[in-house]
């Protein structure tokens, strides 16, 4: 990876400012909105624009032909969920360079899938992993290290190693959560992180920005941070998984599912793939792709047991 100092107009003083603000790589400099870099570094507008122009040239973040775009997408990888049927409807697993959203009611398995992925992401490529480490932002205090030990052991991995490769942060409120997301631009490249989890993306926002008058503020902030996550996934070829709750939909009085994902259009548009989870009968759970640029709307059944996420024994 090239040093920041190789950018036009960046000497050691500016490089230090950028690094201190969390922009440690050329990719991070290239993909961050200029106003944000200005705010964090106190550098002037023209300086930032010049640095970014040079950064974008270096990572070729300019118009590309569809062929070049295709070549870049080939570096995209997929991470297994541990469940064949679920992998299948995901097109082979959770994608890097994309944001995958797990939506579901209480107990539907969102956190469990995230914990499972935190272990499978560490596996070698030929075992369906991403050969990387994991950053897990836990907003609800439901990340259980014991569960990591249990799943890793059942997969024949050293649980201590597996747990040692997962960086967990408990986010106490939405601004803390935002701060932690900003930190990822430094943490990810430094630690070969290939999976980022935010569980849940929205609960603090929903809890803190109450009432119609605060809705647009909330949505703006949410949008900003979802886009940061997208940039992170593209800059470092990593997978981002966020969870989301459902809220009851009064319109369902006229038919349809009584629940709909929280976060409105902002969540819907920012997330590349949306997976809706629900509880079926006899411990079987159902995952459904509900919004994806190219994955068909299919369903898969899975179960949660001591091994983690597994194929449902009896397909209903």
Q: Which residues bind ligand GTP (CB under 6 A)?
A: 104, 106-112, 140, 142, 245, 304-306
In the list Mg ion, ligand GTP, none, the entry touching 104 (Cβ below 5 to 8 angstroms by class) is ligand GTP
Taking alpha carbons only, the member of 219, 282, 119 closest to residue 227 is: 219
Nearer to Mg ion, 41 or 111 (CB): 111
In the list ligand GTP, Mg ion, none, the entry touching 100 (Cβ below 5 to 8 angstroms by class) is none
Spell out the residues 6+ positions from residue 252 whose beta carbon is closer than 8 angstroms to its own: 258, 259, 260
State the nearest-atom distance from the C-beta of 8 to Mg ion, in Å: 46
Please report whether residue 174 would count as binding Mg ion according to CB under 5 A.
no
H-assigned helices in the chain: 12-20, 26-31, 34-41, 45-58, 66-73, 84-89, 110-120, 145-154, 159-164, 174-190, 203-208, 215-235, 264-270
State the nearest-atom distance from the C-beta of 109 to Mg ion, in Å: 8
State the nearest-atom distance from the C-beta of 125 to ligand GTP, in Å: 27
Is 14 within 8 Å of 47 (Cβ atoms)? yes
Nearer to ligand GTP, 122 or 245 (CB): 245
Task: Using the Cα atoms of residue 144, residue 145, residue 146 and residue 147 in order, give the sign of their dihedral.
Answer: positive
Please report whether residue 139 would count as binding Mg ion according to CB under 5 A.
no
Nearer to ligand GTP, 30 or 222 (CB): 222
| Furthest-apart CA atoms within the chain: distance in Å | 63
Task: Using the Cα atoms of residue 53, residue 34, residue 40 and residue 241 in order, give the sign of their dihedral.
Answer: negative
Decide the pairing of beta strands 273-279 and 285-291: antiparallel
The two structure tokens encoding residue 206 = 């929903």
State the nearest-atom distance from the C-beta of 101 to Mg ion, in Å: 13
State the nearest-atom distance from the C-beta of 112 to ligand GTP, in Å: 4
Nearer to Mg ion, 81 or 111 (CB): 111
State the nearest-atom distance from the C-beta of 205 to ligand GTP, in Å: 15
Nearer to ligand GTP, 140 or 190 (CB): 140
In the list ligand GTP, Mg ion, none, the entry touching 306 (Cβ below 5 to 8 angstroms by class) is ligand GTP
In this structure, the number of other CB atoms found within 10 A of the CB of residue 207 comes to 11
Q: Of all residues in this chain, which one has the CB nearest to Mg ion in the complex?
A: 111
Within 13 Å and on the Cβ side, how many CA atoms surround 135? Answer: 25
Task: Single out the segment in contact with Mg ion by CB under 5 A; choices: 38-46, 103-111, 221-229, 282-290.
Answer: 103-111
In the list ligand GTP, Mg ion, none, the entry touching 120 (Cβ below 5 to 8 angstroms by class) is none
Please report whether residue 111 would count as binding Mg ion according to CB under 5 A.
yes
Size of site (CB under 5 A) for Mg ion: 3
Distances (CA, A) of 207 to 172, 211, 240, 265, 298: 12, 10, 23, 18, 32
Task: Single out the segment in contact with Mg ion by CB under 5 A; choices: 74-82, 86-94, 142-150, 228-236.
Answer: 142-150
The residues that touch Mg ion, with contacts defined as CB under 5 A, are 110-111, 142
């Amino acid at each position: 990876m090239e040093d920041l100092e190789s950018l036009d107009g960046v000497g050691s003083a500016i490089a230090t400012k950028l690094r201190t603000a969390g922009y440690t790589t050329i990719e991070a400099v290239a993909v961050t909105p200029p106003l944000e870099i200005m705010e964090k570094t106190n550098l002037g507008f023209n300086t930032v624009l010049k640095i970014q122009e040079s950064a974008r040239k270096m990572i070729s973040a300019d118009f590309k032909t569809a062929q070049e775009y295709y070549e870049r997408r080939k570096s995209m990888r997929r991470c297994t969920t541990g469940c064949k049927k679920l992998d299948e409807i995901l097109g082979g697993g959770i994608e890097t360079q994309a944001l995958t959203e797990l939506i579901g009611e209480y107990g539907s398995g969102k956190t469990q899938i995230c914990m499972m992925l935190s272990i499978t992401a560490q596996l070698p490529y030929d075992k369906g992993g991403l050969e990387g480490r994991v950053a897990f932002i836990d907003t609800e205090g439901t990340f259980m290290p014991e569960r990591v030990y249990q799943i890793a052991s059942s997969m024949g991995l050293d649980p201590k190693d597996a747990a040692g490769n997962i960086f967990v942060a408990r986010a106490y409120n939405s601004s803390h959560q935002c701060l932690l997301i900003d930190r990822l631009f430094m943490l990810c490249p430094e630690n070969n992180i290939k999976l980022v989890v935010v569980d849940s993306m929205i609960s603090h926002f929903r809890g803190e920005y109450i009432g119609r008058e605060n809705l647009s503020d909330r949505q703006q902030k949410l949008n900003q941070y979802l886009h940061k996550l997208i940039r992170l996934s593209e800059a470092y070829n990593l997978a981002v998984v966020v969870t989301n709750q459902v809220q009851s939909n009064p319109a369902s009085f006229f038919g349809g599912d009584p629940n709909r994902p929280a976060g409105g259009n902002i969540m819907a548009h920012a997330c590349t793939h949306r997976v809706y989870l629900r509880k079926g009968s006899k411990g079987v759970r159902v995952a459904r792709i509900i919004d994806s640029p190219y994955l068909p709307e299919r369903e898969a059944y899975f179960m949660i047991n001591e091994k983690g996420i597994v194929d449902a024994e009896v397909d209903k």
